[in-house]
Amino acid sequence: MLNLKFTSKKPISGRFFGGISSNYIFSAISIFLLTSNINAMEPSNSTLTIKEAVVKSLKQHPGLASFAYRVQSSDHNIAQAAIGQKPEVSLVIEDALGTGDYSDFSNAQSTLSIGWILDGGLVNSRVQQYKYKKALTEIELDIKRYDVAAETAHQFITILALQDRLKIANEAHLHSRNILKEITHRVNSGKALMADQLREEVNLERRKLDVEDIEHELISAKKILSSSWGQSEIGFSSAFGSLNLPESLIEYSELEQAISSNPKVRYFLTQQRLTEGEISLAREEGKNRLRFNAGVSRYERTEDYGLTMGITLPFGGNNNQGKISSLSADKSRYQAELTATEIQLLTQVFVLYQELMHSYHINNSLTDEIIPRLEKALKETYKAYQLGKYSYQEWSSVQQEVYDAKFSLIDARLTALKNTVELERLTGLAMKNYKNVQ
């Protein structure tokens, strides 16, 4: 029999939200709930927990490899931007290699000077720009990590569901074999029709096909999960965990507040800061910058020396005004996109939360009401069949209803846990557990 644990309480408002701190509540619905030891045993070396799967994906997923080089490139750009314009050294020789008295170097005048531009503010602005660009790369990495973790969790709980479905399918197959033996005995003793035996033989073959179908799906699901960390072979025999749902849910208001931690929101906020920095840089680049030079002149005729000094200041206003206006428009665009993203995320969270609550109702209804009654009805139908009051078809029909209800229970729990994973991805509340995974 399938080893499932249920709660007899209904998912009413007080049951969802009352009496438990929010941190405890969310830790209960986080992806770590799937690693709980409900059977009082430790996973073996050939089994895989969801934590192990997610950590492997975050460390080895092929789609994350390029970000390390992008971050490294950003660091080099920051270092390069910190280097200001180099001073210039110049040597000027006048009144030499001409005609008459100036045909040689005897009356020449030579000046050795050094010149530099005051660009400290410009350098700082460029450095800050590359820091913002690095921050955007890191946020893009966070977005990818959220997606990788969610995809891994989705695939893991799909494997858990298939494992549970396989248990029920094997149970149904074994049960059908036992029924066939009983019907064959009844047919031989003249208590049942040959048609019942033939129908049960067909049913047994269908049960066998059900088992094979799920086994194929399970192998494919394991293969897909293994590919999440770049492996071409399946490196585990089974997933360790349970589809059992926690009794309580996080408060919806906390999910709303957590939207601000979604990397997509942070991305547009950082884009705004990057654009503000680009505006500042454009203003700095358009400024008329002072150029200083100083040097020493030598007069060959008198063998005297003299100091030279100079200041150069370009004329005209800021020639980057068009660029500044364009960047200001981009800043407003990012603000509009930020608002649209927040509305979209809030809507998604609301819809997922409603679906999650509905899955809880289905879970509890199947657990507390439907399955117990169907199992009782199956026992009563079998008794009636033994007494000849019910036909084989009626008995078989109730059997199928029992298995259908159990499969529906798995589907409801799978949907609930997948919606939970999506809520975690949208709010970022669960990813803090993997923040330091590199």
Number of compact structural domains in the chain: 1
Over the stretch 123-148, which tens digit does the pLDDT of each residue have? 777 788 888 888 888 888 888 888 88
Over the stretch 66-91, which tens digit does the pLDDT of each residue have? 888 888 888 888 887 777 666 777 76
Is 293 within a domain?
A: no
Is 387 within a domain?
A: yes
Over the stretch 313-360, which tens digit does the pLDDT of each residue have? 666 556 667 777 877 887 888 888 888 888 888 898 999 999 999 999
Over the stretch 40-73, which tens digit does the pLDDT of each residue have? 344 555 889 988 998 898 888 888 888 888 888 8
Is 97 within a domain?
A: no
Q: How confident is the model at residue 2 (pLDDT cuts 50, 70, 90)?
A: very low
Is 392 within a domain?
A: yes
- The predicted structure's pLDDT at residue 101: 61
Over the stretch 252-267, which tens digit does the pLDDT of each residue have? 888 888 887 788 888 7
Is 331 within a domain?
A: no
Predicted confidence (pLDDT) at residue 392 exceeds the cutoff of 50: yes
- The predicted structure's pLDDT at residue 74: 83
For 29, half-sphere exposure in the C-beta direction (CA atoms, 13 angstrom radius) is 31
Is 90 within a domain?
A: no
Over the stretch 275-315, which tens digit does the pLDDT of each residue have? 777 777 677 666 656 676 767 677 666 777 667 777 776 66
Is 313 within a domain?
A: no
If DSSP states are collapsed to H, E and C, what string results for the chain?
CCCCCCCCCCCCHHHHHCCCCHHHHHHHHCHHHHHCCCCCCCCCCCEECHHHHHHHHHHHCHHHHHHHHHHHHHHHHHHHHCCCCCCEEEEEEECCCCCHHHCCCCCCEEEEEEEEECCHHHHHHHHHHHHHHHHHHHHHHHHHHHHHHHHHHHHHHHHHHHHHHHHHHHHHHHHHHHHHHHHHHHHHCCCCCHHHHHHHHHHHHHHHHHHHHHHHHHHHHHHHHHHCCCCCCCCCCEECCCCCCCCCCCCHHHHHHHHHHCHHHHHHHHHHHHHHHHHHHHHHHCCCCCEEEEEEEEECCCCEEEEEEEEECCCCCCCCHHHHHHHHHHHHHHHHHHHHHHHHHHHHHHHHHHHHHHHHHHHHHHHHHHHHHHHHHHHHHHHHHHCCCCCHHHHHHHHHHHHHHHHHHHHHHHHHHHHHHHHHHHHCCCHHHHCCCC
Predicted confidence (pLDDT) at residue 160 exceeds the cutoff of 90: yes
Is 317 within a domain?
A: no
pTM of the model: 0.74
- What CATH number is attached to the domain comprising 234? 1.20.1600.10
Domain extent, residue 17, equals: 13-85+121-286+339-434
- The predicted structure's pLDDT at residue 121: 67
Q: How confident is the model at residue 18 (pLDDT cuts 50, 70, 90)?
A: very low
Asked whether 112 and 295 are in contact (CB, 8 A), the reply is: yes
| Whole-angstrom distance, CA of residue 238 vs CA of residue 52 | 13
- The predicted structure's pLDDT at residue 19: 32
